[in-house]
Structure 1
Amino acid sequence: MLQQYKRILVAVDGSKEAEQAFKKAIQVAKRNDGALGLVHVIDTRAFSSVANYDTSMADKATEYADELLNGYKEDAMKDGVSKVETYIEYGSPKTAITKEAASAFQADLIMCGATGLNAVERLLIGSVSEYVIRHSPCDVLVVRNEEPEYN
């Protein structure tokens, strides 16, 4: 029996890999007449390193997230996905995707890019996609941006 995913959550951060995951998530949602959840996580840990925490930084990050998610939502709806929900989460992207967003959306599939914008975190403590694979409450599809080379 083929798995039909009805609630597809895709993590977007503005990277090319996230864009590719978003495009594939649209295809999955359309194929299964499913709902698409879009989540962007504002990494609040970056704010803690600023000596004098300035709320304008958080406001700008939230404004960026709103614009990003609304653009993706509009694109998904133009492409034929009728059910699209957006989520802005705050905190560590790893846990926000696997715990808060997946639960709030009741995802049965999480899609994300193989790499994202945060190269420093990937080098020091492992990638977000690796964490999502290990801790997700549902299936995970990691999307690569590069075309495979077969020799």
Structure 2
Amino acid sequence: MAQRYGRIFAALDGASTQAAVAQRALALAADNGSLLTFGHVIDSVPYEASGVDFEALCVEGKKRIEEELRDILEEARNNSAIPAVDLVVRAGRIADTLSRQLIEPFRPDLVICGERGLSNIKYVFVGSVSTYLIRNMRCDVLVVKQE
């Protein structure tokens, strides 16, 4: 019997795979009748010493994602097979904020993220969010590859 996913979390990163991640999440949520949450974390590290208003930054980030993914989000919200669609944006250290503030409280059966294709040097220093999710989530993780 095939795995059914009742709760799907799609991690959006603003990179080239973001639309593909959102589209894959939409398709899987519709096929499974899943609750669907899209989440994005604005990396706070570059701003920590500057006194940036993170709440305002999150509002702007959410507005940007709503515009960039307008068609996909509208299709998800209008799909009767998907009981609920949410978009959440937070600021913080990416892996920690993504897992503790966005994913864990939602308790998904499936997390979908994109592959960013970091250079070997950057990967050594900052790691990979997809690798972090694969190693630390207690549910299935689907990594959408770059085209």
Distance 1:10 1:91 in 2: 18
1:45 corresponding residue in structure 2:
45
Counterparts of 1:91-130 in structure 2, within 5 Å, are 91-115=92-116, 122-130=123-131
Equivalent pair of 1:121/1:127 in contact (CA under 8 Å):
no
In the alignment, what sits opposite 2:142?
141
**CA–CA distance in 1 between the matches of 2:75 and 2:124?**
32
Conserved in 1, the CA contact under 8 Å of 2:58 and 2:90?
A: no
2:57 to 56, 61, 70: 61
User: Equivalent residue of 1:3, what SS?
Assistant: coil
- CA change 1:96–1:59 in 2 (3 A) is closer
Aligned partners of 1:107 and 1:125: how far apart in 2?
Answer: 25
Aligned partners of 2:61 and 2:89 also within 8 Å: yes
Structure 1 residues 96 and 75: alpha-carbon distance in aligned structure 2, compared to 1, 3 A threshold: farther
Specify whether residues 38 and 2 from structure 1 end up closer, same or farther in structure 2 by C-alpha distance, changes over 3 A only.
same
Per the normalisation by structure 1, the TM-score is: 0.79
**Structure-2 separation of matches of 1:79 and 1:115:** 29
Q: Percent identity?
A: 28
Q: Distance in 2 between matches of 1:82 and 1:90?
A: 27
The CA RMSD over aligned residues, in Å, is 2.4
Check the 8 A contact 2:58/2:91 in 1, yes or no.
no
Which structure 2 segments of 5+ residues have no match?
none
Higher mean alpha-carbon deviation, 35-44 vs 12-21, is at 12-21
1:149: which partner in 2?
Answer: none
Query: Match for residue 30 of structure 1?
Result: 30
Instruction: Give the secondary-structure state (helix, strand or coil) at the position aligned to 2:132.
Output: helix
Report deviation, 1:92. 1.7
State the SS of the aligned residue for 1:103.
helix
CA contact (8 A) 2:17 2:146 kept: yes
Pairs aligned (count): 141
Shift of 1:123: 4.9
